[in-house]
Structure 1
Amino acid sequence: MTEFDAAAEVAKLKAQTKAIRKRSYFRRISMLDKYRGELLTMYRAGASGSELLRWLKSKRVVCAHSTLSRYLNKHNG
């Protein structure tokens, strides 16, 4: 019969706790990424944010005007 090693068990538990608490730094995927090319092309061709929102609505994508504005500012380079 083996003896119980409390120090080893505590070390395992500490490692599990560290893994659970570790933050993931993945970039969230935007619902607008699927239409990135089309959005940027239309925006550069002169479409307004409201027009782009109407276009997105026809694709059954709903987002706020501020969300679209931030997305375009971030990706328009």
Structure 2
Amino acid sequence: MPDFDAHKELERIHALRKRRQIPKYWRGRSQLDRHSGKLLEMHDLGASANDLRVWLKETQRLSVDRSTVCRWLQKATAKRRDYLNRDNN
């Protein structure tokens, strides 16, 4: 192959590998954010993280781990608390 350039091929392969390392689903928001109203409402009524996980799997066909729901709840309730405190002040 007279046109083969090993250096260019190696650069192309490195660029391809670098693109594959970036998760395609991550856009700066959680998949749970679109269900935030319902999730927070059920949480306020006493639903556990595991209850919410089962609800997501059964009704929304979204499979997440319980720890993911726990972390999301901590962040979402903190945001809500900050928002409510900002309105009261």
- Give the structure-2-normalised TM-score: 0.54
Answer with 1 or 2: which has the greater Rg: 1
The one-letter code sitting in structure 2 at the alignment partner of 1:45 is L
- Which structure has more relative contact order (CA 8 Å, sep 6+)? It is 1
Task: Please give the residue correspondences for 1:26-65 in structure 2 after superposition, counting only pairs within 5 Å.
Answer: 28-58=28-58, 59-65=60-66
Work out the CA distance in 2 between the residues paired with 1:66 and 1:53.
9
SS at the partner of 2:69? helix
Work out the CA distance in 2 between the residues paired with 1:74 and 1:29.
12
State percent identity of aligned pairs. 41
Aligned-pair CA distance for 1:37:
0.5
Which residue of structure 2 lines up, in the alignment, with residue 70 of structure 1? 71
Aligned-pair CA distance for 1:29:
1.4
Aligned-pair CA distance for 1:74:
0.6
Aligned-pair CA distance for 1:75:
0.7
- Give the structure-1-normalised TM-score: 0.62
Work out the CA distance in 1 between the residues paired with 2:69 and 2:51.
11
